[in-house]
């Protein structure tokens, strides 16, 4: 399935897009048994964003493909980076237990030269109570 993108409506600003994809399925290349995972996609777009319907259909296309956890996580990230050229993208794949082992794979891309803005800790700016 072909992934699609659309122009970033606010390319002048760094902003965080978070997606949870709870129904990822592929097949174990050794046994042919299904592997299930929740994918977490976090990215800061540059000129383009991922179109959601195409992402859904692309993810579903893995249902009958054999793939090691590490390979499929990196392949999905590579495809999304090639499509959108983001400033930053992280794909976390949390695979459900198989043989008593949970597997989490985290793959990242960072555009050369891009640095995140400093973190703003709003908790330290909480208003004080006016009760006496």
79 is catalytic: no
Q: Looking at the 3D structure of the chain, how many domains does it have?
A: 1
Read off the pLDDT of residues 45-74 as tens digits, 9 standing for 90 and up: 999 999 999 999 999 999 999 999 999 999
- How distant, in Å, are the alpha carbons of 15, 34, 39, 101 from that of 47? 12, 36, 23, 39
Nearest to 93 by CA among 21, 34, 32: 21
Choose, from 14, 26, 35, 79, the residue flagged as catalytic: 35
- Give the pLDDT band of residue 125 (cuts 50, 70, 90): low
Residue 132 scores a pLDDT above 80: no
Choose, from 28, 42, 46, 121, the residue flagged as catalytic: 28
CATH of the domain at 31: 3.30.1130.10
Q: Domain for residue 67, yes or no? A: yes
Q: Domain for residue 130, yes or no? A: no
Q: Domain for residue 120, yes or no? A: no
| Domain limits for position 74 | 15-111
Q: Domain for residue 129, yes or no? A: no
Residue 127 scores a pLDDT above 80: no
So what's the pLDDT on residue 121? 84
28 is catalytic: yes
Read off the pLDDT of residues 25-47 as tens digits, 9 standing for 90 and up: 999 999 999 999 999 999 999 99
Over residues 77-85, mean pLDDT: 98
So what's the pLDDT on residue 124? 72
CA dihedral (93, 98, 103, 109) positive or negative: negative
Mean pLDDT of the chain: 93
- Give the pLDDT band of residue 104 (cuts 50, 70, 90): very high
- Give the pLDDT band of residue 130 (cuts 50, 70, 90): low
């Amino acid at each position: 399935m072909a992934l699609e993108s659309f122009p970033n409506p606010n390319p002048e600003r760094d902003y965080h897009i978070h997606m949870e994809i709870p129904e990822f399925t592929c097949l174990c290349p050794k046994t042919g048994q299904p592997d299930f995972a929740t994918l977490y996609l976090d990215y800061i777009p540059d000129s383009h964003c991922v179109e959601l319907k195409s992402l859904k259909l692309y993810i579903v296309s893995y249902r009958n493909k054999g793939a090691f956890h590490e390979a499929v996580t990196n392949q999905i990230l590579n495809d999304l980076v090639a499509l959108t050229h983001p400033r930053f993208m992280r794909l976390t794949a949390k695979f459900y237990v198989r043989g008593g082992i949970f597997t989490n794979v985290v793959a990242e891309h960072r555009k050369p030269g891009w640095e995140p803005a400093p973190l703003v800790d709003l908790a330290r700016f909480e208003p004080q109570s006016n009760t006496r």
